[in-house]
Amino acid sequence: MPHVSLPKIGTDTAWRDAARGLIAAQEPPERVSWSRGEEAMPGLFDGAPAEAPAAASPLTVPRDFVALANKVVWHSDPERFARLYTFLWRLKDNKGLIEDRGDPALAKLREMEKAIRRDVHKTHAFVRFREVPTNGPRRRFGAWFEPEHYSLEASAPFFARRFADMDWMIATPDLTASFEDGSLSLSDGLPRPDLPEDAAEELWGTYFRNIFNPARLKVSAMTSEMPKKYWANLPEAKHIPEMIAGAPARARAMQEAAPTLPPLRSQKILDRLHGKGGDTAMDWDALRQKAEEESRDGREGYGRLVLGEGPHDARLMVVGEQPGDVEDQQGRPFVGPAGQMFDRIAAEAGLDRSAAYVTNAVKRFKFVQRGKRRLHQTPSTGDIEHARWWLDQEIRLLRPAMILSMGGTAAETLTGKRAGILKRRGHVEEGRDGVPVFLTVHPSYLLRLPDAKAQEEGTEAFRADLAAARAYLDSLAA
């Protein structure tokens, strides 16, 4: 009767070598007995031809079986080696057996494989390192862990891949894994080492207690994934009983607590965010002065704050998108190419630009620097929200009879809706403060049209819009 005693370290390859030899020697499973560790020297056969002619008859098995065996060897079931060998004995003549999930022997091996996967996974999850003081250049950590099976050899390489810039040691009752200066080694198990206290554990406990939501207590969901047997080595587990006990009362207290009054500052913050309230008494000079102050702390990618201009008793307010490069340099709105174009067409439509107050929805030029050029960027919703307060101040001070809104950004600011400008142009909508808003496209849209014909048609339509706007404004006066 051959007896195979496998070593504690490298059990997987030792089992494969032995099994290959036994198959070559045609030893039937019922004649072979197996053991691991203590009893004998590694990989020796008792009363069997140890030197098996492995090369003479190379044994091929499905790759799946090798993967299966490499897991099952770490199981604590004393029959594991015999079960594997018995299955291998059948498999050598029937390679398809490895796929037959209905086979009871394979079902048992798969179940054991799953147990090892889980054991390895739980080791990866639940090992907790404590820092160990050292004088060397690399930090040192140590841990004590009690896996269910002899699986440390299978779980240790993960830690080597992950914690390669520090030295560490994981001691278990069976084996100890150490990682020093980049190399991993295994040695015999240790009694539980005395690891020094680690201050990080208190912080970790704080995190564990506070990430827990007492309103959704589900203890069994926790224990099915983190069974109590692991709790002894988890520093956070000591908080669990108290967390469970206190949860119902905490949840009830949350439900019963009456809504509180919001803190004072909250209304102020919301008003500023929504562009309301604050300094209602501000006049034109104060507004301009505030704009200059604000311009002084520049933001990268943004120009200075350019307010509108025009008579302070104007009945018409014209709102564009944002200042361009030229406007930013001069600090005045509507002086760049699009502004000049607007002036020209407005004059043709009989709309007196000098009698209107012209301004922009967004007050700062947003750009990206490309060499010497500053390229225009479309303002984001954040930019629009940011600028709303300024435009609201201008509207409040001016009290225009009508606002001419040019382009999508102005439309979004004034009516809350950006989409569909080409459909909405030429019509009047109600603005946020009840002021009628006449919608049209932005003059820069005309500059971007692809060919002369399209530009001519676009200009014509824009001119018609401006004429209609003028007629509407006149009708308001009547």
Partner 1 sequence: MPLDLNTKLAILSDAARYDASCASSGTSKRDSKDGKGLGSTEGMGICHAYAPDGRCISLLKILLTNFCIFDCAYCVNRVSSNTQRARFTVEEVVSLTLEFYRRNYIEGLFLSSGIIRSPDATMEEMVRIARTLRTRENFRGYIHLKTIPDASPELIAEAGLYADRLSINVELPTDAAVAAYAPEKKPESIRGTMGQVRQGRAAAKERSHTGKRPPKFAPAGQSTQMIVGADDSTDAVILNQSTRLYDDYGLRRVYYSAFSPIPDSSAKLPLVQPPLLREHRLYQADWLMRFYGFEAGEITGTEANLDLEVDPKLAWALRHRDRFPVDVNRAEREVLLRVPGFGTKTVGRIIATRRHRRLRWDDLVRIGATMKTAKPFITCLDYSPGGLTDSAGLRARFAPQPQQLQLL
Helices (H), strands (E): how many in the chain? 17, 16
Q: Between 275 and 310, name the residue whose CB sits nearer to partner 1.
A: 275
- Nearer residue to partner 1 within complex by CB, 158 or 472: 158
Stretch that binds partner 1, among 18-26, 206-214, 281-289, 387-395 (CB under 8 A): 206-214
Residues 133-162 that bind partner 1 (CB under 8 A): 139, 141, 143, 158-162
Tell me the sheet residues that pair with 305: 364
CA pseudo-torsion sign 279, 285, 287, 289: negative
Shorter beta-carbon distance to partner 1: residue 78 or 416 = 416
Class of residue 342 by CB neighbours under 10 A (exposed 0-12, middle 13-18, buried 19+): buried
Please list every residue from 262 through 281 that binds partner 1, using CB under 8 A: 262-263, 265-266, 269-270, 273
Within residues 177-196, the interface with partner 1 by CB under 8 A covers 182
Number of residues that bind partner 1 (CB under 8 A): 81
Residue 381 binds partner 1, judged by CB under 8 A: yes
Structure tokens belonging to residue 196: 């020094």
Closest to partner 1 by CB, 81 vs 159, is: 159
Regarding 208 and contact with partner 1 (CB under 8 A), the answer is yes
Should residue 225 be labelled a site residue for partner 1 when binding is judged by CB under 8 A? yes
State which of positions 63-102 bind partner 1 (CB under 8 A). 96-97, 99-102
CB-based burial of residue 283 (10 Å sphere; 0-12 exposed, 13-18 middle, 19+ buried)?
Answer: exposed
| Residue range at the interface with partner 1 (CB under 8 A); choices 19-27, 36-44, 198-206, 464-472 | 198-206
13 binds partner 1 (CB under 8 A): no
Asked if 212 interacts with partner 1 (CB under 8 A), we say: yes
Minimum CB distance to partner 1 smaller for 96 or for 136: 96
**DSSP assignment letter at 96:** G
Residue 231 and residue 237 in contact, taking contact as beta carbons nearer than 8 Å: yes
Q: How far is the CB of 221 from partner 1 (least distance, A)?
A: 3
Q: Exposed, middle or buried, 421 (CB in 10 Å: 0-12/13-18/19+)?
A: buried
CB 436 within 8 A of CB 474: no
User: Is residue 242 a contact partner of residue 208, using CB atoms and an 8 Å limit?
Assistant: no
* Closest CB 346 distance from partner 1, rounded Å: 32
Q: Is 399 in the site for partner 1 (CB under 8 A)?
A: no
Using CB under 8 A, which residues numbered 321 to 380 contact partner 1? 380
Segment 98 to 137, residues that bind partner 1, using CB under 8 A: 99-104, 107, 121, 124-131
Q: What type of residue sits at position 363?
A: K
Select from 188-196, 252-260, 284-292, 328-336 the region that touches partner 1 (CB under 8 A).
Answer: 252-260
DSSP 253-265: HHHHSPPPPPPHH
Displacement of CA 442 from its chain's centroid (Å): 38
Is residue 284 involved in binding partner 1 (CB under 8 A)? no
Measured from the CB atom, the residue of 263 and 434 that comes closer to partner 1 is 263
Report yes or no: 57 and 20 within 8 Å, Cβ to Cβ. no
Residue 316: strand, helix, or coil: strand
Q: How far apart are CA 163 and CA 170, in angstroms?
A: 12
